[in-house]
Homo-oligomer: A and B are copies of this chain.
Amino acid sequence: MNAMLKADTPLYLGIDGGGSKCRAVIVSSDQQILGEGLSGPANPLRGMKVATDSILSATQQALTCAGLAFNDMSRLVAGAGLAGVNVPQYFQLFSDWQHPFKTLHLTSDLHIACMGAHQGGDGAVIIVGTGSCGLADVNGQLIELGGHGFPYGDNGSGAWFGMQLLHKVLLSLDKLAPQTMLADLLLQELAAANAMELVAHFMHATPTTYAKFAPLVFVAAEAGDETALQLVQQGAGFIADIANRLLSIQPPRLSFIGGLAHKLLPYLPAQIQQQVTPALQTPELGAVWYARSRNQTQSIAMSL
């Protein structure tokens, strides 16, 4: 048996629990990845049962993958970054959860993304995917911005771009705004003949549905469409505002992650682009860094 898997060596579990999937990773005390797992949504907004089932299922997979037994779950020092736990009622629900781990250290998905991006060190991160948000962690000072949810928040995100796209197209089809290539692109994409048929596609649309159409805005902007260019500049403006606030506490590094990040980056001011560095590790490894740091703090606290 691998020495690292001996019953008395600490094992770390990192959980990245988002709105659509949950990733788990098990890491040894000398930072070797032993196993990984993937499951469904772990956002408590979908209900605690769904969220905890996803976490346990991804963990079980990671244990199996690591050649560990189900019983080893009680050895895991877990760090979990979960979408939604920044809402006090959901943080409380998770704090009350009778989890099967040795300990469970909870924080937001954004925080572990930042710890992953900078390998546990200080830095800032901006996520631009279906949603958008930013965090800087410098000398223990934490700034968290944006997010908040859709449709009133998540400015400059994929869902925001998709909703703005539909908004502009409907105004244009009503002849209340100038003609735009966005209308042709969206009607064609959905094989729709008019506004009514478009709207039928978005009747019960989720942020994910809106985000699917965000790339059309960038296609039209690159082709010089004025409406699309204005939208891209407006979205980039929201993200630049977040970046500038985060940079104000001088993080040593700034990383962008999320599916829309590479599309938006070229539209940000040069002074921001220059400071962007690639993320070094995944959010679930960031959750492991978080678990380590919290465990050390506790050990120190207990030894005082």
Cβ 8 A contact of A86, one of B45, B166, B196, B202: B196
A136 vs chain B, min Cβ distance (A): 13
Q: Is the CB of B242 within 8 A of A176?
A: yes
Any B CB within 8 A of the CB of A53: no
Expressed in whole angstroms, the Cα–Cα distance for A174 and B196 within the complex equals 37
A88-B196, A196-B87, A196-B88 known; A145-B174 Cβ under 8 A: yes
Which residues of A, 77-117, contact B by the 8 Å Cβ criterion? 86-89
**What B residues does A242 contact at CB under 8 A?**
176
Stretch at the interface among A57-65, A147-155, A228-236: A147-155
Expressed in whole angstroms, the Cα–Cα distance for A89 and B203 within the complex equals 12
Any B CB within 8 A of the CB of A66: no
Which residues of A, 20-56, contact B by the 8 Å Cβ criterion? 45
Any B CB within 8 A of the CB of A200: yes
A84 vs chain B, min Cβ distance (A): 9
A198-216 to B contact mask, C-beta < 8 Å, 1/0: 0110110000000000000
Cβ 8 A contact of A202, one of B149, B163, B166, B238: B149
Expressed in whole angstroms, the Cα–Cα distance for A153 and B175 within the complex equals 14
**What B residues does A148 contact at CB under 8 A?**
170, 195, 199
**What B residues does A146 contact at CB under 8 A?**
174, 176
Any B CB within 8 A of the CB of A75: no
A45-B203, A145-B176, A176-B241 known; A170-B197 Cβ under 8 A: no
Q: How many residues of A contact B (CB 8 A)?
A: 32
Expressed in whole angstroms, the Cα–Cα distance for A171 and B132 within the complex equals 13
A211 vs chain B, min Cβ distance (A): 13
Expressed in whole angstroms, the Cα–Cα distance for A145 and B175 within the complex equals 9
**What B residues does A86 contact at CB under 8 A?**
196
Expressed in whole angstroms, the Cα–Cα distance for A202 and B150 within the complex equals 10
Q: Is the CB of A153 within 8 A of B87?
A: no
- The listed residue with most B CB atoms (<10 A of its CB), out of A45, A166, A176, A197, is A176
Expressed in whole angstroms, the Cα–Cα distance for A294 and B296 within the complex equals 79
**What B residues does A152 contact at CB under 8 A?**
163, 166-167, 170, 202
A238-253 to B contact mask, C-beta < 8 Å, 1/0: 1001100100000000
A186 vs chain B, min Cβ distance (A): 11
Smallest CB-CB A-B distances: 10 pairs = A151-B151, A152-B166, A152-B167, A176-B241, A145-B174, A148-B170, A152-B163, A148-B199, A153-B170, A87-B200
| A residues at B contact (CB < 8 Å) | 45, 86-89, 145-146, 148-149, 151-153, 155, 163, 166-167, 170-171, 174-176, 195-197, 199-200, 202-203, 238, 241-242, 245
